[in-house]
Amino acid sequence: MQVDTDIRIEAIVGGEGPPLLLLHGHPQTRAIWHRVAPALAKHFTVVAADLRGYGDSSKPAGTADHANYAKRVMAQDQLSLMQSLGFAEFHVLAHDRGARVAHRLALDHPEAVKRMVLLDIAPTLAMYEQTNDAFARAYWHWFFLIQPAPLPERLIEADPAAYIRDVMGRRSAGLAPFDPRALAEYQRCIALPGTAHGICEDYRAAAGIDLQHDRADRDAGRLLETPLLALWGEQGVVHKCFQPLEEWKRVARQVEGRALPCGHYIAEEAPDALLEHALPFLLRDR
């Protein structure tokens, strides 16, 4: 779907009912939802989208200040996508980088996001400000990908399939949870021209302009008004290094959440547990 003159956001739409936007994380694509999308589609019109810079969506060259990969801009992509499909308001279920986009989407456009489920993140500002040795070692890619171009791009492009295997395989569950077809899709997409650069620009923006926006929100006392369910993996780094529920309570008015018995890739490692908690929350008040 063309969301402006230069940017195309690829998405799959299916199911029936109120609209639900699904956003993936790094280094993946909309394919992460393959184990939960059929169940969600029984209750919702599901829109599974690729973020700017990822999958089959557009991958523009980054600007000097990385502003065209700011979460504010990436959120606008997804808002424009949903509006182009005729959805003025919708729910969001998002993982990892997509959850950071969703956080900004709900802050900037609270009238559009009705309910939101965020998977395995704490707020970006909290994670950067609380970085310690254990976190830096586990989330090394946060600090690798923000290095000036073209160093990280060159290293990823030298063997993109290996980057997928190494980044995803070093998490708590290894590569065992991933369907070979999904893994092949992640490897296909990371090898596309511009993907390595798009991924790096996403992280460069997160370590720069996104923190400026987050600090401005904090200074202004601006909180998330959208009802939020935060879920995270009890075997993951976010659980070990932070207190996710407490951090979300600092930035949102209506928060609930808990750890699930899995690692980082919740939708693929623990799809049943995700549905058990996300569906009742998203269906509440209907």
Read off the pLDDT of residues 202-241 as tens digits, 9 standing for 90 and up. Answer: 999 999 999 999 999 999 999 999 999 999 999 999 999 9
Average pLDDT estimate for 247-272: 98
5 confidence band (pLDDT: 50, 70, 90):
confident
pLDDT at res. 213: 98
Domain assignment present for residue 2? The answer is no
Domain assignment present for residue 99? The answer is yes
Domain span at residue 28? 11-283
- Total tally of structural domains belonging to the chain: 1
Domain assignment present for residue 80? The answer is yes
pLDDT at res. 66: 98
286 confidence band (pLDDT: 50, 70, 90):
confident
Name which of 130-134, 136-140, 149-153, 282-286 the model is least confident about.
282-286
Average pLDDT estimate for 66-87: 98
For residues 166 and 111, what is the distance between their CA atoms, to the nearest angstrom?
Answer: 40
pLDDT at res. 1: 78
pLDDT tops 90 at residue 285: no
pLDDT tops 90 at residue 274: yes
Domain assignment present for residue 3? The answer is no
Domain assignment present for residue 122? The answer is yes
3 confidence band (pLDDT: 50, 70, 90):
confident
Q: Is the dihedral of CA 205, 206, 212, 217 positive or negative?
A: positive
pTM: 0.98
Q: Which residues are part of the catalytic machinery?
A: 96, 264
Read off the pLDDT of residues 138-189 as tens digits, 9 standing for 90 and up. Answer: 999 999 999 999 999 999 999 999 999 999 999 999 999 999 999 999 999 9
Domain assignment present for residue 6? The answer is no
Domain assignment present for residue 5? The answer is no
